Structure 1
């Protein structure tokens, strides 16, 4: 990867794009491009055409507001901002984490891109803005808006945050430019269609300057991204957990050589898995379809049904939307009753623990058309894994810590799509499709002298391995404290020897561990936090950043509750004051969570 001077007048995306482009050129081609650009710079007309932006019109203002959990909404907001400026709008982009509803008063045009996290919750960084918007009162008359909601149809409360924000903006007096659009995990096409409608409705703010005949120069797009993932070679695939462990946790090392991809600790690697052969066979058997039947996969073309089900479609995740689409094909009276509006709780109970194969078996179809079947499925989504390595400690590589998901329900053996793909079907030498997903909401402090507290039980320890490695490579002097937990000391102490080495070297200051099944009473990381409450409070008071990674449904909530208790008791604060203290930490990016 080409290194640019720190003072280079390019943002990170431009550096990556230019680096990828230059890496593909021969020395002769680089010399030609250099001369070509020098010639353009020597021509005043050409230089003006290349560098002059469209002049913004003072009376055409546009604000792009986003709320993000994993970074997708932010990325789309930046795309809207660039397009708006090209069209002559005086545009700005605002993170809900840095905004209040009163900031929306008096706006002319407002585009909102917001994701839903978990089962109907707003992104964590946007929670304060969301609560204030839902409960406060501001006058948004005169504001024209449209909302793009991101979500996941596998959850009941699909795009719930976007729906609620959309309704609330209208209730506060704003008027719609366009109806809200709801996007599933494969959001690109729906977003692009919505954006096209937005610009068609708004029009250009001013006309673009006339061409002076200078040849256009297209900036090279990143070679490897979501639409064109990098075929990364597995360098290492090692079992971390012990032979007697009730878990199966693996350490996976992948090569980035030749990809042009870069990352920072806290970022995420997206893995495009394949459905396991036995899972595909089960779905084919339940559907009664011929595996060799031809189907057309959107944006790809024709292929066999078996191949499409293996690499293109989610054939496990069963949602209400999938069941409703299946009912349109089978017209089954019992399924229809289960999907009735007044039977939502019955469907929720029935679907729990079941997969698509169970739907096909319970409500079979006669003479099923293979194309109709794949058309009701959604694309196989990538799986996002917190990166467990520092690029400085492992140049040209990226490491993952993965728990293989295996369980039984309704007399069937089940398994996680991506985790068991990596565990069972990705030995050393295998090529796996990946791309980088940057997470700006989970970053080490810029100042290496700042103390950090990390809470990462199980595979949630992954990004903290990256954090500690990075600080070790940088020679950072800031104290670091890790709370790690799992089931058994002898079987599940992930990266034990590495932590011990970091403790000896001073790159890790403190390590507190909680192994829940090594004693009669269950001990978790939040219990260790409470045992160390006084010292933890002192660390916070001297500016420590607090990080949590792992399970959102229980662990993260329990850790938050313990942290709230510590702030109350050690800081002498009321519950409301302690909540405000933690809210301020979040706003200052001193309390960051990567939970799932």
Structure 2
């Protein structure tokens, strides 16, 4: 009662204050500070709240203005980082911030000095490389032209895959470099593995709290209604996949082929899911039951024993948990370290600690969890302790091979079956062999749509397109051509397709030839590597038509590549530079600059894996 309030006010405050959450206290503190700053105005309190400038709020202590503007830059190859950047933006907008979300490739680096609050959401591609749309910004920030950023506050969300040696490397590099340039962290960097939803949500919350606490005057308005679904409506997503019925499952390869490529047609009826050409479909697969049984037998456990599989306390039998919930076919260094620490087995510790890590890297390659149990078990730990070390089953992403306009309520996929022999055992791809051997029409798959804004048809339908897609890389280009056929687009299109044999491996041959005849497809060049003594690939066909290909580029054509990153995409990229250098009569440096400019203009797109 020892306060400037009367008894009624004090009683009200004493009832209210103990019930407030931390964010509500921050809001109230900020609101009162803002009110005092404009106390010279005769406006009532409600009007003060409405009329205070949205972009600037007076700081509590110094009287200086602190920007409520937040810039979120993303570098994304498959769309995950972009999706999280947009989610963070919507969350912060719901709390009164002015947010700009942009691809790093669209952001002008010279504007970095003007930014006070910067959030970076970036994936790591391949062996520690930035994604394509982050390359130029990454290069600028690590170059000599990078400015001092003493007024910058930042935080980094890094996406990666711990099965790669340079896990989340790009995010780590951004985080370190921004600190070196003088920036101060709003919240610590968070590194996410394939199962990124929960740590990403925590990062967004910590960033929001960090911004709010620093400014002490954030207007914590209720989250925008735009971000919430209509009452009673189920929204399907990565976290809540739709169980879609399989309508067709066909082998596209002819008899005698060395390959098996499945064409899946899947129903989206009743899901509300939509997609655009260039997007991907995420599938949560199940492990091979035979491999699961061998693993449980090697562990000498009861398959019917129940275990808890998540923080919500959901319980499954051990067999079901291994089948649908945990990844058991991929080994990573972090997993090996966890198992070694849990079991205390000397041989495991020796393998992990040996030399420069090459022995561990060699052991991990081509092996799975069953190998570890057979080579180092028995472990003498409980089922629950062991399962707690494992990664959740990550979804598999596949480029969509259909247009929603041409196939309402359906999505089509082109999936190559992965089979190989390693370390004395036959091995299978988890999802591809599920689709090839155990998935009949009528069965269901848990699926969701993964948007890919970096692999879109040109906005102008008259823009020529050049598509390079050998093997299953043809998938998104089938969707492009279906979409253009439905829209009656007149822009030119050129497809380079390759595989092993013309007779058995010419995927979607009938459709392609019909599109060629009807003018939907302007040019088609094919390369079948095993039909001649000397192997011929798509890049060789590009070279054969180098003059015309360069003419298309000069006419403003967009260039697309889909398929294998390690060899094909690299060879196609180098061949493209060769063609520009030759036909444009340029130096190598100028030809590379030409390609860099194509990327900047969003005329060079890659969907590689």
Same fold, judged at TM 0.5 (above)? yes
Query: Do structure 1's residue 528 and structure 2's residue 536 form an aligned pair?
Result: no
TM-align CA RMSD: 2.1
Query: Do structure 1's residue 56 and structure 2's residue 64 form an aligned pair?
Result: no
Query: Do structure 1's residue 183 and structure 2's residue 192 form an aligned pair?
Result: yes
Partners in 2 of 1:575 and 1:509 — Cα distance? 30
Query: Do structure 1's residue 366 and structure 2's residue 379 form an aligned pair?
Result: yes
CA-CA distance at 1:198 after TM superposition: 1.7
The answer as to whether partners of 1:485 and 1:516 remain within 8 angstroms in 2 is: yes
2:123 maps to which of 95, 98, 115: 115
For structure 1, the 5+ residue unaligned runs are: 1-47
Partners in 2 of 1:300 and 1:521 — Cα distance? 59
Query: Do structure 1's residue 442 and structure 2's residue 440 form an aligned pair?
Result: no
2:586 alignment partner in structure 1 = 573
CA-CA distance at 1:359 after TM superposition: 1.2
CA-CA distance at 1:92 after TM superposition: 1.7
Query: Do structure 1's residue 89 and structure 2's residue 87 form an aligned pair?
Result: no
1:558 maps to which of 571, 580, 587: 571
2:507 alignment partner in structure 1 = 494
1:283 alignment partner in structure 2 = 295
Partners in 2 of 1:287 and 1:324 — Cα distance? 19
2:445 maps to which of 413, 432, 448: 432
CA-CA distance at 1:279 after TM superposition: 1.4
1:472 alignment partner in structure 2 = 485
1:412 alignment partner in structure 2 = 425
The answer as to whether partners of 2:72 and 2:101 remain within 8 angstroms in 1 is: yes
CA-CA distance at 1:471 after TM superposition: 0.8
CA-CA distance at 1:111 after TM superposition: 1.4
SS in 2 for 1:321: helix
Partners in 2 of 1:218 and 1:265 — Cα distance? 25
1:542 maps to which of 555, 560, 570: 555
1:297 maps to which of 305, 309, 312: 309
2:147 alignment partner in structure 1 = 138
The answer as to whether partners of 1:453 and 1:481 remain within 8 angstroms in 2 is: yes
Q: Which has the larger radius of gyration?
A: 2
SS in 2 for 1:554: helix
Deviations 1:530-567 (A, max 9, x none): 01100100111111111000001110000000000000
447-456 vs 221-230, which deviates more? 221-230
The within-5 A match list for 1:322-337 is: 322-337=335-350
2:282 alignment partner in structure 1 = 270
CA-CA distance at 1:53 after TM superposition: 12
Q: What is the aligned length?
A: 544
For structure 2, the 5+ residue unaligned runs are: 1-45, 57-65
Distance 1:110 1:250, change over 3 A: same
TM-score normalised to structure 2 length: 0.86
Query: Do structure 1's residue 317 and structure 2's residue 330 form an aligned pair?
Result: yes
Partners in 2 of 1:550 and 1:309 — Cα distance? 30
1:72 alignment partner in structure 2 = 80
CA-CA distance at 1:310 after TM superposition: 0.6
1:245 alignment partner in structure 2 = 257
SS in 2 for 1:275: coil
CA-CA distance at 1:78 after TM superposition: 1.4
CA-CA distance at 1:388 after TM superposition: 0.5
2:174 maps to which of 153, 165, 177: 165
The answer as to whether partners of 2:95 and 2:222 remain within 8 angstroms in 1 is: no
Query: Do structure 1's residue 224 and structure 2's residue 236 form an aligned pair?
Result: yes
Distance 1:476 1:300, change over 3 A: farther
Query: Do structure 1's residue 260 and structure 2's residue 269 form an aligned pair?
Result: no
The answer as to whether partners of 1:269 and 1:385 remain within 8 angstroms in 2 is: yes
